[in-house]
Amino acid sequence: MAGAESLRAAMIEAAEKQLASSSDNDIATRAVCEAVGVTQPVLYRLFGDKRGLLDAVADHGYERYAALKAAQEQTADPVTDLRAGWDGHMAFARENPALYQLMFTPRPWSHSTARDRVFDLLEATLVRCAAIGALKVEPRVAARLILSASVGTALDHIAGPERFDDPAVSHRMRDAVFAHVLTETTTRDDGDPLREAALRLRAQLDLAGTEALEPVETALLLRWLDRITRPGASDVR
């Protein structure tokens, strides 16, 4: 088993190197096998087919992405961490353009979980934001908006690499989407205090839970909080 895992890792590394040097963001399975010194049936046995190998490369890319995120110092201010996370995302795209496109460009046949796992990392930071009352919308909705904006910006920059040299372009998009999902430091006249309190309590329960309630009571409370935080809930009479 250890030998198979080692061989699998070597083939993923060879495929990623070939992808990075490719002019069309593609790989040749024969060349991958030759680089590792195995025959193509070995590739089929370990990955199923070329699509399976590309999925494995994408998921390995997530592991590298997650390692960079883990190395990023977490502060006591999740909003600061969120901003740093955007910049880290752009840096990863700049340094790994072919791998980034493999991870984030839709491939209908793909079974890679890389994008979903990046989404989960982002949502975890947004739960922390919600727990201090810094979020206007549910963490999952905010994560969807921010990831869509960051991926779109990164792919646009990859298409025109010179854009990476001007962080202001990326920061304008970041500030626009953050203004939509984050609360301001001052009280807003158009805010919904009940909904914002429910968002905060929901996030606190996600982070720390509570021993004051039975599991069935906690589940009921979460259901109520979800109904309060649902868009348009305040309009229901």
- How do residues 118-144 score in pLDDT, each as one tens digit? 999 999 999 999 999 899 999 999 999
Whether residue 192 is found in the same domain as residue 118: yes
Residue 111: is its pLDDT beyond 90? yes
- Confidence bin at 185 (pLDDT 50/70/90): very low
Are residues 66 and 44 part of one domain? no
The answer to whether residue 53 sits within a structural domain is no
**Is residue 56, in this structure, part of any structural domain at all?**
no
Higher-confidence residue of 155 and 204: namely 155
Residue 77 lies in a domain: yes
Residue 208: pLDDT above 80?
Answer: no
Residue pair 201/225 in contact (Cβ under 8 Å)? The answer is yes
* Together in a domain, 177 and 225: yes
Q: What is the pLDDT of residue 151?
A: 97
| Structural domain contains residue 55 | no
Q: Name the nearest CA neighbour of 222 among 113, 146, 192, 214.
A: 214
**Which residues on neighbouring strands pair with residue 182, listed in sequence order?**
135
Range(s) of the domain holding residue 25: 1-48
Convert the pLDDT of each residue in 68-102 to its tens digit: 888 888 898 999 999 999 999 999 999 999 999 99
Q: Is residue 54 part of a domain?
A: no
- Phi and psi at residue 185, to the nearest 5°: -70, -25
88 and 181 part of one domain: yes
Q: Is residue 199 assigned to a domain?
A: yes
**Does 219 or 42 have the greater pLDDT score?**
42
Domain count, the chain: 2
Q: Are residues 141 and 110 in the same domain?
A: yes
- Cα-flanking dihedrals φ and ψ of residue 182, to 5°? -100, 145
